[in-house]
Amino acid sequence: MDDTLYEEAVKVRENAYSPYSNFKVGAVLLSKSGIIFTGCNVENSSYGLTSCAERNAIFSAVTAGEQEFSKLVVVGDTEDVTVPCGACLQVMAEFFDAETEILLANTAGLKKTYKFSELLPVSFNLGDDRNV
Please enumerate, by residue number, every residue annotated as part of a binding site for Zn(2+): 52, 85, 88
Which of 8, 14, 54, 118 is the catalytic position? 54
Q: What is the DSSP string of 80-125?
A: SPPPPPHHHHHHHHHH--TT-EEEEEETTS-EEEEEHHHH-SS---
Contacts of 30 by beta carbon, 8 Å cutoff, 6+ apart: 1, 5, 36, 69, 70, 71, 72
- Which strand (E) or helix (H) includes residue 37? strand 36-40
Known binding-site residues for substrate equal: 41-47
Cα first-last separation, the chain: 26
Would residue 79 show up in a list of annotated catalytic residues for this protein? no
Residues marked active site are found at 54
